Amino acid sequence: MTEPYAMRDPTAETEPAMRQPVVPPASLDGLTIGLLSIGKERSVEFLDSVEERLAAQDLKVLRFAKPTHTKPAPRGVIQDLVERCDIVVEGLAD
């Protein structure tokens, strides 16, 4: 009997072989929406306008910001998003 041909996984192995996409919520009622500025020029103005529109629909909005767009979000920011938001919109990346 020959051994099966096997390779070693070059990835971070954070995904199962079959990835299940997150199902989007049917309605935004009662959900908290996080707006994350990635720290790039004009992000804040853009997200201000998004916040205005969401608030007009009586939706709960929280604001978050990365210090700079050249580096990943600090762990504290990511943790805050996970704990306090149901949905996250990030911008503005060109």
- Is there binding between residue 94 and other proteins (CB under 8 A)? yes
* Span interacting with other proteins, options 7-15, 26-34, 50-58, 81-89, rule CB under 8 A: 7-15
* Using rule CB under 8 A, residue 7 touches other proteins: yes
Alpha-carbon separation of residue 60 from 21, 63, 66, 79, 90 (angstroms): 25, 10, 20, 19, 16
Residue 12 is a binding residue for other proteins (CB under 8 A): yes
Residue 34 parent element (H or E): strand 32-37
Pick one of 1, 10, 57, 76: the residue that binds other proteins (CB under 8 A): 10
